[in-house]
Structure 1
Amino acid sequence: MSAPSADTPSTDATPPVLRVRDLIKEYGEGDARVRALRGVNLDVERGDYVAIMGASGSGKSTLMNILGCLDIPTSGTYEIDGSDVGRLDERQLAILRNRRVGFVFQSFNLIPRMSALANVELPLVYGGIGQAERRARALAALEQVGLTDRVHHEPNQLSGGQQQRVAVARALVTAPALLLADEPTGNLDTASTGDVLEILDRLSASGRTIVLITHENDVAAHAKRVIRLVDGEIVEDRRQAPVDGPPPRMTEKAAAR
């Protein structure tokens, strides 16, 4: 049987955006073998906002890399938006990463000497989208993060918080099924952290599915669900707000008015 394309629909009526079963990841061999993930099982429903927490060495970054199709597990299965990732070849994986997953990294990963607009357009260039459409979509994404007055600025002309907002816009421009954010506030000051978290709150309230890696309780407090890893295993899975409701911090702000 041939592998499905990244656009193959699931047979489920409403599959979770993420479905992970018995995920194991090992590094090394023999006495040097390290088991970074130990049979992780996880579903993330459409519209959920999940914070994955854990100390250094807990396996949270390994899990993020696998969820983002940047690494492969030793064993277990992983589906994203109904597609079995283990059955996809390299070309299909590249399509899936480009169309279904938006990435936000701690270090921004913007291209120097390219404007904010050009950075946001980049995933659409790789996706073969025409110039007029990608320009319109990139401008709309930058408007979502409040940077319409910075579209022609290069990264070195932007603050850290502005650079991360460009990175969020770049992650959104393909309208992905899943937004993956790896310590997105780790390099930001308090004010910029608040700006980025407010954007993520708004995206969540609009129905965007978000999985966030963080070690900070204040950041995790914005999520609807908190998962804690210890030694490659889920030891806590706590619901803070309904999947179809606003994030907790947005609810707190509304209550305070």
Structure 2
Amino acid sequence: MSAPVLDVRDVTKVYGQGDTTVHALRGVSLTVERGDYVAIMGQSGSGKSTLMNILGCLDIPSEGSYLLDGTDVGVLDEHQLSVLRNRKIGFIFQSFNLIPRMSALANVELPLAYGGVRPAERRRRAVAALGLVGLGDRMGHEPNELSGGQQQRVAVARALVTSPALMLADEPTGNLDSQSTRDVLDIMDQMSLSGRTVALITHEDEVAARAKRVIRLVDGDVIDDRRQAPVEGPPPSLLSGGVR
């Protein structure tokens, strides 16, 4: 059997010292198998953002261990962490994080450029990824020429383009209107149906309802971890074909 995509073991995270000490995570353990679709929920201060940063290799635990797709993150140096992030994780952020004066196509190509993929190949894969999220006719547009929902779909395409082991989404619908929220969640459903591993950080019940599994955090502890019947989403699309 293959290793879990996420394997978190007794992870704690402590900030500050003395009277200012904050225990953001208190011995969190969880595993996420390949192809699972997980929503991690919690209110402000629950530790979900800290956990997201650790899962995304943007921060390290104070104690405990974290294995990403079988690799022990704790033994890697900064360069190795950067390579791991680029190859193994597709990030989707609430604020889109697109480069303003670059086209949608150029934004989607960026992770491949950092990974040393040749120009012709990265162009082919970026075009395919934008087509998968329904933006084949917007490839030359810059972010300020796109709606919020379209910008988030560009961000999803950028996350997809490396065919990562993990799609990690941090409040991906937080800045979107209702229709754009449904559009982006439909794409997340399609990614899950095509076998991709998705971990989504959210405080919204509507968003978490799309996932197969919901993990709830309170004060740095996992208080609930259960399977659920996700909301009926769209049928599988061309996402099942990947972008390679």
Q: Which residue of 2 aligns with 1:199?
A: 187
Number of equivalenced pairs: 235
**1:251 & 1:142 partners in 2: Cα distance?**
18
SS at match of 2:144: helix
Letter in 2 for 1:94: S
Aligned 1:1-257 pairs, distance under 5 A: 13-241=1-229, 247-250=230-233
| Alignment deviations for residues 175-198 of structure 1 (CA, whole Å, 9 cap, x no partner) | 100000000000000000000000
SS at match of 1:91: helix
**2:146 & 2:190 partners in 1: Cα distance?**
22
Q: Which residue of 2 aligns with 1:10?
A: none
Q: Which runs of 5+ in 2 are unaligned?
A: 236-244
SS at match of 1:148: coil
Letter in 1 for 2:190: R
Identity of aligned residues (%): 73
Query: Are 1:240 and 1:248, in contact at CA under 8 Å, matched by a contact in 2?
Result: no
Q: Which residue of 1 aligns with 2:242?
A: none
**1:147 & 1:23 partners in 2: Cα distance?**
39
**1:51 & 1:93 partners in 2: Cα distance?**
24
SS at match of 2:154: helix
**1:154 & 1:240 partners in 2: Cα distance?**
39
SS at match of 2:232: helix
| Alignment deviations for residues 57-90 of structure 1 (CA, whole Å, 9 cap, x no partner) | 0000000000000011101000000000001111
Query: Are 2:208 and 2:214, in contact at CA under 8 Å, matched by a contact in 1?
Result: yes
How big is the shift at 1:251?
A: 8.3
Q: Which runs of 5+ in 1 are unaligned?
A: 1-12, 242-246, 253-257
**2:80 & 2:121 partners in 1: Cα distance?**
23
Query: Are 1:221 and 1:249, in contact at CA under 8 Å, matched by a contact in 2?
Result: no
TM-score (norm 2): 0.95
Query: Are 2:214 and 2:226, in contact at CA under 8 Å, matched by a contact in 1?
Result: yes
SS at match of 1:249: coil
Query: Are 2:190 and 2:234, in contact at CA under 8 Å, matched by a contact in 1?
Result: no
Letter in 2 for 1:191: Q
Letter in 2 for 1:86: G
**1:249 & 1:53 partners in 2: Cα distance?**
20
TM-score (norm 1): 0.90
Query: Are 2:189 and 2:234, in contact at CA under 8 Å, matched by a contact in 1?
Result: no
Hey, which bits of structure 1, 4+ residues long, moved more than 3 A? none
**1:224 & 1:248 partners in 2: Cα distance?**
9
